Each structure stands twice: as structure tokens, then as C-alpha cells.
Amino acid sequence: MRCPYCQKAETKVVDTTHDARGGVRRRRECEICGQRFSTYERPILNTPLIIKRDGTREEFDRDKLTRGIRISCAKTPVTAAQIEELVNEIEAYLQQAGRSEVSSRVIGDRVIARLKNLDLIAYIRYAIVYLQLNDLHEIRNEINHLLEGEG
């Protein structure tokens, strides 16, 4: 493992912990510059290709999904742990589905359903992009629909 500070490969593992999902967190120290940093290892399991709206196919990108959800959840009470749990849940679902291809709609529907339960502002932000709410009237209709469900 290369040191992210000095780029030298002489590092040693100081501490190792395991998490419930099979991942391994290692605390490392560079033997050259003395800086400490953490690495996280997790098993890479096969995920299906994602079929986009326009019919193109691409590999499932965990980081892309996480970024989209984080943007929707910015300045809301949704925690990083909740976002990570949501992404883990979706990735596990895709891995267990046993299919070689899955529509992006499957992922979007799962995200939007969870966000609706986590935080309505994050839900609306995600829905604007995912449901392609293109004008204020469509957004207002979605908000009114949410408000009717609460009352």
C-alpha cells in the first residue's frame, strides 16, 4: 500500500478491525514519513449491468449512487451512516438478484422509497431528478401529494 502523503510503498499495519459486512479497516503508518492513514477493504461481488433510460448499459457504480444520494441529503438530518446503509442495501439487493442486467428504475425506485421514509426534503430533491419533474407545477403537485399523505 502506497502512502497517500509521500507515495512510498513502505507502510506497516498498526491496527485491523472487521465490520459486520465483511469489510476490513486497517490503520497504517508510513515507515518513511511517519504519517498515519486508514484503508478499507471490502469484497468485490458481481453486480449486474444497469440498463439506463436511453437503453445504454453501464456497470453499477456504488460511488455514483452514493454521490447522488448525498447531494439529495445535503443539509438534512440524514446521517452519513444512513446513506451508507441505503447504498449497502441496494448493492446487496443487486448482488442477490442473480440477474445479469437490471433496469436503473429498480435502483431509483428503491432509493426514492427509502428517502421518503428518511427525509421528505431529500426525497423531493431526488425526485426532481429521478421523476424528471421539469417545472414548478409538477414539483408543487408532488409536494401536495406528500402533504395530503401526512394529513
Position 65 in a domain: yes
In tens, the pLDDT along 3-36 reads 999 999 999 999 999 876 678 999 999 999 999 9
The C-alpha cell that represents 75 in the structure block: 443539509
- 53 & 26 share domain: no
Looking at per-residue pLDDT, the higher value among 139 and 20 belongs to: 139
107 shares its domain with 141: yes
Asked whether the whole model's pTM tops 0.75, one would answer: no
- The mean-pLDDT minimum among 9-13, 54-58, 144-148 falls in 144-148
Phi, psi of 44 (to 5 degrees): -100, 110
Domain count, the chain: 2
Q: Which pairing describes strands 36-41 and 24-30: parallel, antiparallel, or unpaired?
A: antiparallel
Residues 31 and 82 in one domain: no
Structural domain boundaries, residue 36: 11-41
**What's the N-to-C CA distance of the chain in angstroms?**
55
Mark whether 62 and 128 lie in a shared domain.
yes
Residues 23 and 97 both lie in one domain: no
